[in-house]
Structure 1
Amino acid sequence: MNIGIFTNNYRPRLSGVAISIDTFSQEFRKLGHKVFIFAPSCPGHTETTGGVFRLSSIPAIYDKTLALPIPYSGKISREVLDLELDIIHSQHPFVMGQFAARLARRYKIPLVFTYHTLYEEYAHYIPFNEKIVRKMAIILSTSYANKCDLVITPSEGIKNLLRTRGVKAWVERIPTGIDLSKFNGIDPKTIRKSYNISNKTRILLYVGRLAKEKNLVFLIEAFKLVLKKVLDARLIMVGDGPLKKRLKNLAERLQIEKNIIFAGSLPQKEVYVHHLAADLFVFTSLTETQGLVLYEALASGTPVVTIEAVGTSEIITNGINGYLIREQVDEFSECVCDLLLNDRKRRRMSSAAKETAKGFSSTIQAQKMLSLYQELLNRKTKSINSSNHKVMVHG
């Protein structure tokens, strides 16, 4: 099978979408399929190489570090035809998503769309009336989904949400899987050495963008309360983003800056090492459709304390592999302290976390996706044969 994946963001920029693309692509290739990725160019990554086709791009007006592709290329259009793609899989409804849809229609290739994000939750990045932008994001993403032959959601909650919004297209849930083998042979002690953290000190870990939608002011305020009971705890925040300076200032104002480490963006292998070194993974976002980092935490055997939301409640079973908490600082900090101060409970949840992760292996999820691709192609063939039969009967 020849599979074309169209995305607005990709390596070297680290994001959940980029990780999802790489995870599925690697598994598809292991199973003998060909994968071609169409993504924006960026400094040092402008040429087609390794099955990645780069389109010209411009800096996003809301984030100059983000390259937005120019969704037109006669050269790429011709190459798509030459590649004889069986499936076009769009990762976004906007920009490259529109380009993917045009090519799918032009060459009569089935169009698949993964609904990665609650787009309306990012309306504050657009320099326009936020209420209007939120409404338009919902309308346009719903309209796009209805133009697709198959829509993939990473959680059942998002699948149900799309139905309530009027999506009539075929929708299936397939979360991004985790390559469990990547957690083998890693020595997490290197993290404590690199940050000069003693073996007795408890480590909390957050991985993700440092941005408004991740609700990180809440996390730091909760951590302030944690330190009243667990005096020498450390919070390591892996990732970067527009909120970094504000979060650092908040930590200084609360006089807890010495207990928070802003590690910045790291290679994925280093992220895995951090997961293994942590005693607890903390997550406070209210906008996640899946929360890929939660699967990574579970795969490393790290219990999770998170706010209850659409994407998180399908991953974390309260009291089993972590805690699902209401958005209340006191309650969140109490659950964190409960696990940090109770080694036996934390070890029990760690074992449960690993068991949970086994059901989300990247191999299993990739096989599910390929099965849907094949069913989509079978439906197309059946539809063509049916149309040809009608022509012969009435001809």
Structure 2
Amino acid sequence: MTRAPRFLAAAFLLFTTTAGGTELRGHGGPVRAIAVAPEGTAITGSFDTRAIVWSLETGEAREVLLFHGDEVNAVAVLPDGRFVTAGADSRIAIWESGRQAPVRVLEGHSGPVTALAVSPDGATLASASWDTTVRLWPVAGGDARVLEGHDGNVNAVTFLADGTPASAGYDANLIFWPRDMGAAAVRVVLPTPLNTLVALRGNRLAVGGADGMVRVLDRDGTTGSEVQATQSPVVTLAASPDGRYLAAAGIRGAIILLDATDLAPVRDLRGPGMPVWSLAFTPDGKTLLTGGSDRVVREWDVETGEHLGATMTDETDPLAEFAGDRGAEAFRACIACHTLDPEDDNRAGPTLHGIFGRKIASVPGYRYSPALRDMDIVWTPQTVSKLFEVGPNTYTPGTKMPEQTISDDETRAALIRFLQRETRTE
């Protein structure tokens, strides 16, 4: 059944404004994506299936867009002022301001859509999907050009300044696709699964990987510079419009500002320590927006690194009480998608309360991937450990769960002990 699009009044959303900054609060789940329009409007997408259009000047939520049947993984702004949203339901929606339903829905992907990009001339929309493909959609209408070549989830897509599409995936492949059909693609295999990429000036690309590294590559695939940006997987990147800075964020909450020319560290931004899933600079390059697992969009002064908005404390960190617990630190990468307590709802993933002894795909009310429903798996300390040893894509093929592994035996054991203690039903 097709889910009917709905529109929610913005008046029911909360926002906080302080001298020098605004915090955008209104999402009911982690903020997965941010895009900023030239006039200072932003759109955010969340695991709560919603996209929200905001005024960055006032913090007002102007429109709430409900259409997708699953988390909104990607958002974009078209040159004509329209917005684009894409989700784990495999659909892409194009919106006009003030309309209660998408003006156009793009269908063709068979897996979650994870990233969007608009070509420099505004004529083409690119989408990346876990169905292993990239699609190039003419904004004016018409069939998509399907690009096949990845062997696994495609996590990121962008365009170089000359219009060349590029994509990166879990297969560790970075592919520069030809602008014209028939030409050969340039493929670069890097040492780690790739999560995110962004175009830089000079037809260069910055790519972030599961090893915490940020690498900059030239158009021919040559690596020009690299830096250990975080100690956990880099999950999102953003480049400032003036070409000076590159922002990188990790799944454990680290945010670092780099010089876009040589990747020299400029400053660290001290957030609440929870996963940061999305980054975007304002058009003037003076402010960086960050969105993460605490459902809040924050603003940062790029030149000083100062947080603009309400004072952050450890009270916003749901794992603050477990400081020093190795298992809790391992679980930090999971908390964006899973809750532990019986009174908490499902998020992007099902609640883990009572997980041990439970059959896979059996939590009431959660929409599981079809592939999981016929699997004969019962969650035990051994099976959960195996999941993280070999990775979700291998152990539970067809899952929506982001790919991640824990290779260290002691860290996996600590995670299991933490889950046994915090998810028990007695």
TM-score by length of 1: 0.29
More strand by share: 2
Choose 1 or 2 for highest CA Rg: 1
Between structures 1 and 2, the one with greater helix share:
1
Q: Under a length normalisation based on structure 2, what TM-score does the superposition of the two structures give? A: 0.27
